Amino acid sequence: MSWLYTGAMSLNVTPSSALLLFSGGQDSASCLAWALNRYDRVETIGFEYGQRHEVEMRARLDVRRRMAALDPEWARRLGDDHVVDLTGYGMLAESALTADRAIEMDTSGLPSTFVPGRNLVFLTVASALAYRRGHSVMVGGMCETDFSGYPDCRRETLDALQASLTLGLECEMTIETPLMALTKAQTWELAQALGGDRLVELIRIYTHTCYRGDRDALHVWGYGCGDCPACELREAGWHAWQSMGANP
């Protein structure tokens, strides 16, 4: 087993391409900008798993197109988009995100929006595509700071999965999580640094985060119902960033 890790460590080459888990939300859009700055080719993957709102799937194509329009180099680097049907998994892992249940805390302290094993499933499925398409890096917007306590967002979980995938595929597979240690305010700051005011405005208006799929009202922090956990987090992050002296 150890030779695999030794082999991986000796690969002293910066990977030139990556596969990004892209939902069309604020976090994965920020990760897309990060990846487009870093890799020569970036492909995106999204998952249909029975979300109550198709708005998320529409947002991701819109954000991709508008991101490419911001910078000719980003346009050149942005590769194919892939959508994988995981509705069977969604039915299995039914929760408030995929069924008509109220968003609340359950007895284990996790919000009912928790979809058991979601990131493990997404990354494992994505690794099959990454393997076929020649990517040794996957990028995801998981974050363990401002988040709702999802255990599959922890870096520790992803380190274990990364080791499993590297062994199971018998080739190095790295999971990059550029937002892992960032607060939502710092994620806005990152977007500002990567793409300036135009990227911040793109993310504010065109990304979608709201669990309820609400796009009726545009708030200063973007569209959403304003009172689901995702909206509350996004709103709080925006205001925290503003109070840090942001200048969008």
CA distances 206 to 43, 56, 67, 122, Å, are 19, 10, 10, 23
* Minimal distance, residue 64 CB to Zn ion, in Å: 22
- Residue 228 CA neighbour count, 13 Å, CB half: 20
Q: By CB under 5 A, what part of segment 199-218 binds Zn ion?
A: 210, 212
By the rule CB under 5 A, 236 interacts with Zn ion? no
Pair 117, 47: CB distance under 8 Å: no
Nearest to Zn ion of 19, 231 (CB atom): 231
Nearest to Zn ion of 52, 82 (CB atom): 52
Largest Cα–Cα distance in the chain? Answer: 55
With CB under 5 A, what is the number of residues at the site for Zn ion?
A: 6
Nearest to Zn ion of 25, 195 (CB atom): 25
By the rule CB under 5 A, 225 interacts with Zn ion? yes
Q: Smallest Cα–Cα separation from 182: which of 142, 140, 133?
A: 142
By CB under 5 A, name the one of 46, 222, 224, 237 that touches Zn ion.
224
Nearest to Zn ion of 20, 97 (CB atom): 97
Rounded Cα distance, 7 and 42, in Å: 25
Which range in 33-41, 165-173, 184-192, 226-234 contacts Zn ion by CB under 5 A?
A: 226-234
By the rule CB under 5 A, 228 interacts with Zn ion? yes
Rounded Cα distance, 198 and 71, in Å: 10
Which range in 72-80, 97-105, 175-183, 224-232 contacts Zn ion by CB under 5 A?
A: 224-232
Which range in 82-90, 119-127, 163-171, 223-231 contacts Zn ion by CB under 5 A?
A: 223-231
* Minimal distance, residue 210 CB to Zn ion, in Å: 3
Q: What is the contact surface with Zn ion in residues (CB under 5 A)?
A: 210, 212, 224-225, 228, 231
